[in-house]
A and B are shown apart, each in its own frame.
Chain A
Amino acid sequence: MATATAHLLATDGMSADFIYEVLNAAEAFDGAGERKTTLLRGRLVVLAFFENSTRTRSSFEIACKRLSADTLSVSGSGSSVQKGETLLDTVENLKAMGPDAIVIRHASSGAAAFIASRTGLPTINAGDGRHEHPTQALLDLYTIRKHKGRGPHRELAGLKAAIIGDIRHGRVAHSNIHAMRAVGMRVHVAGPATLMPRHIEQLGVTVHRDVESAVEGADVVMALRIQRERLAEGPTLFPGNTEYARLFGLTGRRMALAAPGAILMHPGPINRGVELPSELADGPGSVILDQVAAGVVVRMAVLTRVLAPEATGRAA
């Protein structure tokens, strides 16, 4: 039945059962008459975002508030981190003030697992370096299930997803690949060869040289954000936004190769005109805003799993 989990660090290794449990729990929150529940009243959740974020942090804050939990926001700037305090010291100090859980986003791959193992504090990974962003993958699956779930249990097995863009630097891509594979989806990827990690096919993914063949017949097309400026190696990875948009950007013509009724996703924020033109981002097949809405209920489900395992799937 309910699976308590001390932490939520990665989708790598998650079982299909666990994923569907979380999605079902999220759905219960979605359909609940009352927006607010008292499930986590009296609990304190630290939101430690050492990397900038609008969506994810707001989403977690709202999720906490809807569960009646108290939150404390800590960020990199204006904190002792700027005075040179190590991550571990920062978190240990916070721990000493008695929070029940920590949601952490950090620029270093592995930071969330590091904190979890060193402090023992129930930890939720809100994005660690280029490694994982598990709640994003879960909300993505939630969104896909809403539009494309098949059969009496609205399952995802057998659906084809095409993920296009920077797979190498994308924690969203990694988390989605693991989660999609866990529930039996077919995952196809395409993007500049310099942004495609070697050996990615060993994760059970089909790598395509061009967007067209990846997108063909896909039920789900996910465009990832391209961040040439943020990458130190940027100028050597691909020639710039114009070339990216022409060769890898999703266009109406490329989307027409997908399965009829295919949905278009993007974790945001979108570089309009690069990964996607506005017509597609705002068009009928786009479920991008659904993804954002899904974020709150999915994170509510994750928080209750980590902090109140006895409250399975029951909205108070």
Chain B
Amino acid sequence: MNTIAITGGRVIDPARGVNAEGDVYVVDGRVADRAAYERARAAGAGAAPVDARGLWVVPGLIDVGARVHTLSRDPWSACAGELKSAAAGGFAVVAPAPDTDPVNDDPAVTTRVRAIEIPGVTPRVLPIGALTRDLAGDELAPVGLMRGAEAVAVGDLRRAVPRAGVFRRALEYAWGLGIRVIVEPRDGSLEGEGTAHEGLVATRLGLRGLPDIAESIAVDRDATIAAWVGAPLHFHRITAAIAVAAVRRHKAAGAAVTAGTTAAHLYFTDAEVAAAEGAARLSAPLREESDRAALIAALCDRTLDVVISDHTPLVPDDKDVEFEAATPGAHGFETAAAALTTLVAGGVLSPLRAVELLSTNPARVLGLNRAGRLALGDEGHVTLIDPACGWTVDPERFVSCSRHTLFAGMRLTGRPVLTITSGSVVFNGLR
């Protein structure tokens, strides 16, 4: 059942420069033309066409670096449920971070992560492998073997590799094999035992600080190394204005760097920390209003390329505790896309830009030539979004087991209503 037609919607496909009413056909899991669809239908394949009038029809959304494991007990059991949550959030493709249990630093684990996907039922799962063994930053992980086990990219996604010499070699080796590397630009030594952005809020609350220069210094170091090695590099989460400036500078110098941020960082600041306690503890800290504003501006001026959900499924035991004891992370799947459509409704972003951030660019960053776009022959991943639907975020109604989100109770505009992976519907929210 991977043949489907979506008709009458507004097709927004930045990679092809399309932003107009049109139809999309998927035959045998690939984007096809109407004739091929008619033939397939005549042969008895496929579902009835989907009426997409009033809806956006966009290349399936792609989420980089989410977690589908619960970080506490029995990590693998909740995966299918979390993938359903991703689908409900409009994500047709999920690229999970390597901090699984065991760590995804071995092709056997990569295979296991890849196998979380249930074709026809869940979004596509493309594992991100570790760059260093055990994410420890000392020895190279067998990235070539992991790529052979279908890892889509590699990166520790936790902190920057502590020693520059090790990072240089790891990047050189990986890119020598054509494998893309993703970096979480946080200098571990500068961050130390910090838990919250090092600003006035942390001072008032007596929380250990995470200085923003830990982020910009890591960006500078790793972008410089990448330019010297001649490899592209993606920065996973940028949260600070000073780091935005660093990315901008390296891009202006012609470096092949890309960067992302999270939906939560576009909305919230460290002001939440005082109010929400454990729920506001994210692994990349919420910073000040000036940082948030810089992130928004960076989305518009193309300094930032990707917005991620940063989904981390946690349970109350992890979060309903005092701030410094809380496990960092929050729910993200079912609010990320809506967070961007709300910015579109508010005139901050164009629809084209929103789709670029959620689909076109993530595909590029992961080196996926046939995704993030709806050209003939591309993967049949499609997301339908109702751009005008107003709704209130109610964590109790989340598909995910994880209920912690700073978006709780917020009114958002726009919401994914149908998610298709390789021509199969993995989420149907159409009435």
A residues sitting closer than 8 Å to B (CB atoms) are 192-194, 196, 209-210, 233, 235-240, 242-243, 246-247
User: A237 with B176: in contact, given A242-B145, A243-B142, A243-B144 (CB under 8 Å)?
Assistant: no
Cα distance A247–B147 when bound, in Å?
11
Is the Cβ of B178 less than 8 Å from the Cβ of A233? Answer: no
The listed residue (B138, B143, B148, B177) touching A209 by CB distance below 8 A is B177
Asked whether, in the complex, the Cβ of B144 is within 8 Å of the Cβ of A246, the reply is yes
> Is B394 among interface residues, defined by CB-CB distance under 8 A?
no
Q: How far is the CA of A244 from the CA of B128 in the complex (A)?
A: 21
Closest Cβ–Cβ distance, residue A250 to chain B (whole Å): 16
In the complex, the answer to whether B142 meets A236 with C-beta atoms within 8 Å is: no
Q: Does B170 sit within 8 A of A, measured CB to CB?
A: yes
Evaluate contact between B145 and A246: CB separation under 8 angstroms. Answer: yes
Instruction: Pick 16 A–B contacts, CB within 8 A, sort by A.
Output: A193-B176, A194-B169, A194-B176, A209-B178, A210-B177, A233-B169, A235-B140, A236-B139, A236-B170, A237-B173, A238-B140, A239-B139, A239-B140, A239-B173, A240-B142, A246-B148
Distance between A43 CB and nearest chain B CB, rounded to angstroms:
47
**Given A235-B140, A236-B169, list of 16 further CB < 8 A pairs?**
A192-B177, A196-B176, A210-B177, A236-B139, A236-B140, A236-B166, A237-B169, A237-B173, A239-B142, A239-B144, A242-B145, A243-B142, A243-B143, A243-B145, A246-B144, A247-B177
Q: Is the CB of A194 within 8 A of B173?
A: yes
Q: Which residues between 123 and 178 of chain B lie within 8 Å of chain A, taking CB atoms?
A: 133, 138-145, 148, 165-166, 169-170, 172-173, 175-178
Determine the chain B residues whose CB is within 8 A of the CB of A209 once the complex forms.
Answer: 176-178
Contact, CB under 8 Å: B173 / A235: no
Q: How distant is A233 from chain B, measured CB to nearest CB, in Å?
A: 7
Residues of B within 8 A of A240 (CB): 142
Complex interface bits, B175-191 against A, C-beta within 8 A gives 1, otherwise 0: 11110000000000000
Residues of B within 8 A of A192 (CB): 173, 176-177
Of B148, B173, B175, B178, the residue contacting A238 (CB under 8 A) is B173
A253 CB, min distance to chain B CBs, angstroms: 15
Residue of A196, A236, A247 near B144 (CB, 8 A) is A247
- Judging by beta carbons under 8 Å apart, are A193 and B175 in contact? yes
> Chain A's nearest CB lies how many Å from the CB of B234?
18
Least distance between A188 CB and chain B CB atoms (Å):
16
Query: Which residues of A lie under 8 Å from residue B170 when comparing CB positions?
Result: 236
Q: Which residue on A lies nearest to B132, using beta carbons?
A: A236
* B140, B145, B177: residue with the most chain A Cβ atoms closer than 10 Å: B140
For the complex, give the distance between the alpha carbons of A209 and B166 in Å: 21
Interface centre among A209, A237, A239 (most CB of B within 10 A): A239
CB proximity of A196 to chain B, nearest CB, Å: 7
Contacts of B145 in A (CB 8 A): 239, 242-243, 246-247
Please indicate the chain B residues that have their CB under 8 angstroms from the CB of A239 in the complex: 133, 139-145, 173
Task: Give every chain B residue within 8 A of A235 (Cβ-Cβ).
Answer: 138-140
Nearest to B161 among chain A residues (CB) is A236
Bound CA–CA A237/B168 (angstroms): 10
Residues of chain A lying within 8 A (CB to CB) of residue B148: 246
Docked pose: A233 CA to B142 CA in angstroms: 16
How many Å from the CB of B144 to the closest CB on chain A?
4
Collect the chain B residues with CB atoms within 8 Å of residue A194's CB.
169, 172-173, 176
Interchain CA distance A308-B175 in the complex, whole Å = 51
CB distance from B227 to the nearest CB of A (A): 14
Q: Please, how many angstroms separate the alpha-carbon atoms of A306 and B75 in the complex?
A: 70
B181: shortest Cβ distance to chain A, in Å?
12
